[in-house]
Amino acid sequence: MLVGSVASFLLLHNLLKIRISEIWPGSGVLFVLGIILLLLPAVLTNEKLTSKIVTAVYAVFLVFIALRFFPYTGPALLTMAIVIMAISLLYTSRQMLITVLTITILLAGHYANNSFIFSNWQLFYIAEIITLIILAFVVITVHNIGVRRAETLNNQFNAITKSEEKLKLTLESVGDGVITIDQHGKIEFMNPIAEGLTGWHNQQAIGEPFEKVFKIVNEYTRESAPDPVKLVFETKKIVQLANHTLLMSRDGTERAIEDTAAPIKDANEHIIGCVLVFRDFGEKKEKQRQIEYLSYHDQLTGLYNRRYFEEELKRINTKRNLPLSIVYADLNGLKMVNDAFGHESGDELIRCVADVFKTECRADDIMARIGGDEFVLLFPGTDNESTEILVKRIKEKIEQRKIMNINVSISFGWDTKHEENQSVMAVLKNAEDSMYQKKMLNSSSRRNSIIQAILNALQIKSPWEEVHSKRVSLICQDIGKAYHLKEDEIEALRAAGELHDIGMITVDEAIIGKTGTLTNAEWSEIRRHPETGYRLLSSTTAFNNIAEYIFEHHERWDGTGYPKGLKGESIQWKARVIAIADAYDAMTNNRSYRKALSEAAAVDEVKKHAGTQFDPEIARIFIEKVLGYKW
């Protein structure tokens, strides 16, 4: 602006120096133009408009001068007018334009007042041309520099724009909620995740106070939680919320969240805003609670586990909890139930006992499952007599329950710590020993009752098995008599015949009653029943002496049987007897997949397979002594 004013003043000064009567009667026009050029830079504030007007006025001025002094300086001034017009097309900066005008005005004014120029116009014509060429070169050079600078600035602007767009897209696509806040605590931006969690749309939230949009409370006290943005502005550090913070959405939904707020700083490390990154912590928190729960609880029953029990035993071992009673409990026959009916039934049995503990124990009592079938109960402030009453009530409740038509049975043992100097571990050991003593007294009758319950369940599952087992037991008994065995051996043989298929309790009912050809998988399941029967019977005192016979009753004389592939006399004698009795009864009675053979036809089959499937001597004794046929 100052340069333009100086240029206009110089123009006016030179015009006043011109002798109007000698130059041109229309020089008053030049005076008016000078006044206009003097006032324009001061009046006009629009750079583009000022540049265009000044250029137009000055071009007119040059044309007037050119016409007046042609041919002396006219060509040069016309050329200059063209250059000025070109400059006006290239530039919008009035500072640049007026600087060029100033130089030209000085020259023009000098032309108009110097008689030496008129007398030596050829020399000055050449000088003018050279001056204009230099001026044009300077203008073009400056123009190129300006263009390159403009391109650089434009590229930088585009890069910044793209970077901002990329940043915005990134913030919108991240999986966490993001909110940016200005230095006055007003929201500038929210990404879609933040919109969903707060219930506010980005356009609605922009300009709103942060605390209005982001309402948080303490999960336990329900009081307002500390504002993380205010903490950032106060501490000028990164701030994190506590894990028990709830975000109150606009629609009233409560969400457990975790977040981090960080300051936004400029190049001079001045805080100009804040960014908050947060996420829904509910699912993660629930998983953490589940992990924590499972770390101290038994997954099957919901009771405390061994880890928690051991820690709690240390904590509860204080004077104020005396007398402290410890009860040790063990399920009777769990393994037999698992073997006979599967682990699902065994799990049901365990849950059944745990449910009784939960309903019958008191609020301050500690209940823990410390092993597969073992439980421990801690009764603080409970003496021995009160413990006995409590245990008796729990035992009665448990034994009223039934699983697979089997009465649930459990053994208890307990001891009480009365003095502070007593070892709590010694009390625990006494309770365990007491439990095992009672378990040994009851185990035999318990297992026998389970075997009978399994037989009953098998007979319900397959009525044919009931009559088949009884017939086989009678045939075994008759063969024993034919061999003149002692009564106890005959009884063992009869019992083995009756229990020979007890392992079929684990075979699917559909397979047992199938009328068509069995698949390989179905045969594989059936072939496991001798081993299952052995496991069930070997765990009892009443039947463990016949368990081996049950295990081997499907072995063959030639060694092609199962499950062990035994051969000849390596097979238990009583197992060989059961094999003949089982096969003969199966042949002479209708099955789901075939009709019964006649007695004579069955005798022929026994003879045919003697020495391969059957012991030949037992086969002969059976046919001759029991059935009365000739060999």
474-528 pLDDT, tens digit each: 999 999 999 999 998 999 999 999 999 999 988 888 888 888 888 999 999 999 9
Inter-residue contact 335 to 539 (CB < 8 Å): yes
Highest mean pLDDT among 7-21, 84-98, 467-481, 530-544: 467-481
Of all residues in the chain, the percent with pLDDT exceeding 90 is: 51
What are the helix (H) ranges across 500-546? 509-512, 520-526, 529-538
pLDDT value, residue 10: 44
Q: What is the pTM of this model?
A: 0.56
The bridge status of strand 271-280 relative to strand 177-182 is antiparallel
Burial 297-335 (b: 16+ CB within 10 A, else e): bbeebebbbeebbeebbeebbeeebbbbbbbbbbbbbbb
Compute the distance between CA of residue 51 and CA of residue 552 in angstroms, rounded to an integer. Answer: 117
Q: Is the pLDDT of residue 25 over 90?
A: no
Average pLDDT, the chain: 81
Inter-residue contact 500 to 458 (CB < 8 Å): no
Q: Is the pLDDT of residue 138 over 80?
A: no
Q: Is the pLDDT of residue 16 over 50?
A: no
pLDDT value, residue 127: 54
**H or E stretch including 65?**
helix 47-69
**What mean pLDDT do residues 10-18 have?**
44
Burial 401-416 (b: 16+ CB within 10 A, else e): bebbebbbbbbbbbbb
196-243 pLDDT, tens digit each: 999 999 999 999 999 999 999 998 898 999 999 999 999 999 998 877
| DSSP secondary structure string for all residues of 352-385 | HHHHHHHHHS-TT-EEEE-SSSEEEEEETT--HH
Residue 393 Cα distances to 42, 59, 139, 356, 397, angstroms: 108, 119, 111, 10, 6
Highest mean pLDDT among 158-162, 269-273, 325-329: 325-329
Q: How far separated are the first and last CA of the chain, in Å rounded?
A: 141
Q: Place 313 in a pLDDT band, splitting at 50, 70 and 90.
A: very high
Amino acid symbol at 187: I
Q: Place 319 in a pLDDT band, splitting at 50, 70 and 90.
A: very high
| DSSP secondary structure string for all residues of 328-343 | EEEESSHHHHHHHH-H
Phi and psi for 377 in degrees, rounded to 5? -120, 135
> What is the spatial order of strands in the sheet that 410-417 belongs to?
366-369, 374-379, 324-331, 410-417
Q: Is the pLDDT of residue 85 over 80?
A: no
Half-sphere exposure for 515 (CA within 13 Å, toward CB): 3
pLDDT value, residue 61: 57
Residue 166 Cα distances to 152, 175, 433, angstroms: 21, 16, 73
169-187 pLDDT, tens digit each: 665 666 789 999 999 999 9
More confident residue, 434 or 449: 434
CA dihedral 623, 629, 630, 631 (to 10 degrees): -20
Highest mean pLDDT among 268-272, 302-306, 401-405: 302-306
Per DSSP, the three-state class of 297 is strand
Burial 14-52 (b: 16+ CB within 10 A, else e): bbeebeeeebbeebeebeebbebbbebbeebeeeeebbb
DSSP 8-state assignment for residue 418:
-
Amino acid symbol at 563: P
Inter-residue contact 185 to 230 (CB < 8 Å): yes
**What mean pLDDT do residues 400-421 have?**
91
Domains of the chain plus CATH, in order, are 2-149 (no CATH), 175-287 (3.30.450.20), 300-442 (3.30.70.270), 462-626 (1.10.3210.10)
* Residue 454 CB neighbours (<10 A): 26
**What mean pLDDT do residues 150-165 have?**
68
Instruction: Detail the DSSP E strand segments found in 372-489.
Output: 374-379, 402-403, 406-407, 410-417
DSSP 8-state assignment for residue 253:
-
529-584 pLDDT, tens digit each: 999 999 988 888 778 889 999 999 999 999 999 999 999 999 999 999 999 999 99
- In this predicted structure, which of 48-52, 156-160, 365-369, 542-546 has the lowest mean pLDDT? 48-52
Compute the distance between CA of residue 73 and CA of residue 66 in angstroms, rounded to an integer. Answer: 6
DSSP 8-state assignment for residue 255:
E
* Residue 418 CB neighbours (<10 A): 12
Q: Place 446 in a pLDDT band, splitting at 50, 70 and 90.
A: confident
Compute the distance between CA of residue 495 and CA of residue 571 in angstroms, rounded to an integer. Answer: 18
28, two tokens: 């008053």
- In this predicted structure, which of 129-133, 305-309, 398-402 has the lowest mean pLDDT? 129-133
Q: Place 247 in a pLDDT band, splitting at 50, 70 and 90.
A: very high
Highest mean pLDDT among 64-78, 83-97, 391-405, 453-467: 391-405
Q: Is the pLDDT of residue 354 over 70?
A: yes
Compute the distance between CA of residue 411 and CA of residue 399 in angstroms, rounded to an integer. Answer: 11
pLDDT value, residue 20: 39
- In this predicted structure, which of 77-86, 270-279, 415-424, 549-558 has the lowest mean pLDDT? 77-86
